[in-house]
Amino acid sequence: MTEQPDLTPTPPTPLEQAKTQFIQLWGASAANWGINRTMAQMHALLLVSPEPLSTEDLMTQLQISRGNASMTVRDLIDWGLVYKELRAGERREFYVAEKDMLQVTRCIIRERKRRELDAMKRSLDQLATLPGDENDPNYREFHRTLTDIQQIADGADRVLGGLMRAERNWFLDKFLRLFM
């Protein structure tokens, strides 16, 4: 009599449940900020994994297709949040997350600043060059709005630039002192 392989999955441990909840939380938070949910979920999964994971691992743990896993992991690598790990004599690839959360924060700030803030500033600069009649309230309001937003954008640029260059304790230390 041969042993039947046990196909009933073992119930998840509390730790596994908590991991799943964390993955969901990270995914939902990212989605609120216009970042692909699956990308953030994969990031969370890799963050809490002590070992590098294979594509197969990512697919089963997140329940996504191979194509999705491939595209999403590439995005994470592009962001600088995940590294590819190749093993001698292994054909398949493994992936590890950057674990230093300060470094992670810098990557995220850098990418978002580059992709959105910098692009927006260029467009604003271009629109703000429009000449017009200072006595036309429509022109005045348009121009005032643009220059005001440019000021804010410049401020945001500097704040984000500063945060990117911030050393480990600035976040909790300097800012505390500065603002409290």
Partner DNA sequence: CACAAGTTTCAATAATTATTGAAACTTGTG
49 class by beta-carbon count within 10 Å (0-12 exposed, 13-18 middle, 19+ buried): middle
Residues 72 and 28: their CA atoms lie apart, in Å, by 16
Residues 40 and 30: their CA atoms lie apart, in Å, by 6
Radius of gyration of the chain from its Cα atoms, rounded to whole angstroms: 23
Of 117, 103, 101, 107, the residue nearest 76 (C-alpha):
107
Instruction: Work out which of 9, 13, 50, 92 binds DNA, going by CB under 7 A.
Output: 92
Helix (H, G, I), strand (E, B) or coil at 112: helix
User: Taking CB under 7 A as the criterion, which residues in 52-91 touch DNA?
Assistant: 54-56, 63-68, 70-74, 89-91
134 forms part of the interface with a second copy (CB under 8 A): no
Contact letters for DNA, residues 111-150 (x by CB under 7 A):
----------------------------------------
Retrieve residue 24's tokens. 């969901």
**Residues within the interface to a second copy (CB under 8 A):** 14-15, 18-19, 21-22, 25, 29, 31-35, 47-51, 99, 101-102, 105, 115-116, 120, 123-124, 127, 130, 132, 136-142, 144-146, 148-149, 151-152, 154-155, 158-159, 161-163, 165, 171-172, 174-176, 178-180
Q: What does the binding site for DNA look like in residue numbers (CB under 7 A)?
A: 31, 36-38, 54-56, 63-68, 70-74, 89-93
